[in-house]
Amino acid sequence: MDTSQWLIVATACSGVAAATWFGAKWWYGRRLRALELRLQKIDKARQFAGQQALQARRQVEALQKDLAAQNEVLARAQLATQRSRHLEDALRAVSAAEPSAAMPLAPAHGFADTQPLA
């Protein structure tokens, strides 16, 4: 083989190498862009899920605070109800024990006296 044949073979090999490199760059570049788009979508979905979880935590916290406040109000209402029942029971016991002290004396005609008793 003389020099011109070696030059043709070297030029052909470099042309094939360049064509292979451009073909691989095009082929794998498409795949890399597709994978990058998928990665961006996954990242957006992850961020959205994180925001949703944070919002859900805040809502749960607010609901727990509201429930605690309602339970406190309910406990106070039950305590007030128990106290009023106890007071009513005590008044009933006193009125049953002393009927004359519980009922004031009223005049026979039903009206209060307006004239001084002198």
The proportion of the chain whose per-residue pLDDT surpasses 70, expressed as a percent, equals 88
Structure tokens at 108: 């026979």
Domain boundary assignment for the chain: 9-96
Q: Give the model's pLDDT for residue 13.
A: 96
The CA-atom distances, in angstroms, between 29 and each of 3, 40, 43, 69 are 38, 16, 21, 60
- Residue 107: predicted pLDDT: 67
pLDDT in tens, 16-40: 999 999 999 999 999 999 999 999 9
| CA 112 – CA 115 distance, rounded (Å) | 9
SS3 113: coil
Residue pointed to by tokens 């109000």: 73
Q: Which amino acid is at 38?
A: R
